[in-house]
Amino acid sequence: MSIGKPTIIIFDMDGTTVRHLNPRLLSLLEFFDSMSYKCAKLFSWLFKRGRKGSIVPKWHDPEWLNVNKKKPRLIVHRALHRVRRKPIEQIVQPSLGLYDVLDFLKANNIPMALVSNGLGKGYGHDILEKFDLAEYYMATTFRENIQYSKPHPEPILLALKRMEIPIKSDDVVWYVGDNHKDIIAAIEANKHVSAKIVPIAFGLSAAFAALEKNLGPEHIIMSFHDMFDQLKLMFEDLDTQTMSQKSPSKKIPKTVL
């Protein structure tokens, strides 16, 4: 089953756009992010909703879209980044093959955005500046911009909104992420827009999540080199089809005997 040629692509940051030089740090950040999400939902269920309903709110309810939402305090996130003393290039590096993919998409006028559960201030924005990534993304969404982090779909939906481009029903939005929560977020975001949002699992961890959700192998890429090859084939096939449609077939005249 074809996932469709992308018309928009949104990338996760940690573990996808950039790789951590110390994998333990990424695991620690992911652990604290997951725990803070679960604890927040548990306390909300206990004290705000009086133990009514499910602990994790149903994402198809409009409750989380309330414009009067309070900004998250992000105590754990800020504490983790305050203890950081190393320059950003000693913590993360762009994933191998990333620029080939970004340059190819930019050359083909495919709008791109970046989302992250991490903070922008003191981390995400430093990554964008240090590695000259800002020029590729029409919009970015970081933890301080949202009320609910992934696996909630809000980060993806906000990124689409911030891109300020009309989203049509025939759009195909790839969301590329390396974690279980990325796959869930993309699946849930697909329920809120008319366009098709396609989860793209980047690496082994997300691949297991994709298979768990009955997504086919076409949803899995193991590196940006693989993604580049896949995109190149998609766009070249489209160009070939377009040229064949524009060029009428020439009839060979019959030979007069």
Asked whether residue 39 is assigned to any structural domain, the reply reads yes
**Residue 101 in tokens:** 């993919």
Q: Does residue 205 register a pLDDT over 80?
A: yes
Please report which confidence band the pLDDT of residue 192 belongs to, taking 50, 70 and 90 as the band edges: very high
User: What is the pLDDT, as a whole number, of residue 28?
Assistant: 57
Pairing of strands 220-221, 196-202: parallel
- Within 128-245, strands assigned E span 139-141, 172-177, 196-202, 220-221
Residue range(s) defining the domain that contains residue 178 = 8-246
**Residue 95 in tokens:** 């994933």
Asked whether residue 53 is assigned to any structural domain, the reply reads yes
Which CATH number characterizes residue 191's domain?
3.40.50.1000
User: CA 142, CA 217: separation in Å to the nearest integer?
Assistant: 29
**Is the CB of residue 159 less than 8 Å from the CB of residue 114?**
yes
Number of domains forming the structure of the chain: 1
DSSP H or E run through 11: strand 8-12
Asked whether residue 253 is assigned to any structural domain, the reply reads no
Q: What is the pLDDT of residues 130-146, one digit of tens each?
A: 999 999 999 999 999 99
3-state secondary structure of 169: coil
Q: Does residue 33 register a pLDDT over 60?
A: no
Pairing of strands 18-20, 196-202: unpaired
Asked whether residue 256 is assigned to any structural domain, the reply reads no
Asked whether residue 2 is assigned to any structural domain, the reply reads no
Q: What is the pLDDT of residues 145-185, one digit of tens each?
A: 998 889 999 999 999 999 999 999 999 999 999 999 999 99
User: What is the pLDDT, as a whole number, of residue 87?
Assistant: 85
Q: Does residue 61 register a pLDDT over 80?
A: no
**Is the CB of residue 176 less than 8 Å from the CB of residue 220?**
no
Asked whether residue 151 is assigned to any structural domain, the reply reads yes
Nearest to 163 by CA among 140, 190, 138: 138
Please report which confidence band the pLDDT of residue 21 belongs to, taking 50, 70 and 90 as the band edges: confident
Asked whether residue 198 is assigned to any structural domain, the reply reads yes
Pairing of strands 172-177, 92-94: unpaired
Mean pLDDT of the chain: 81
User: CA 56, CA 37: separation in Å to the nearest integer?
Assistant: 10
Which one-letter amino acid corresponds to residue 31? F
Nearest to 80 by CA among 125, 27, 158, 129: 27
3-state secondary structure of 162: helix
Asked whether residue 162 is assigned to any structural domain, the reply reads yes
* Mean pLDDT confidence for 33-57: 58
Pairing of strands 139-141, 172-177: unpaired
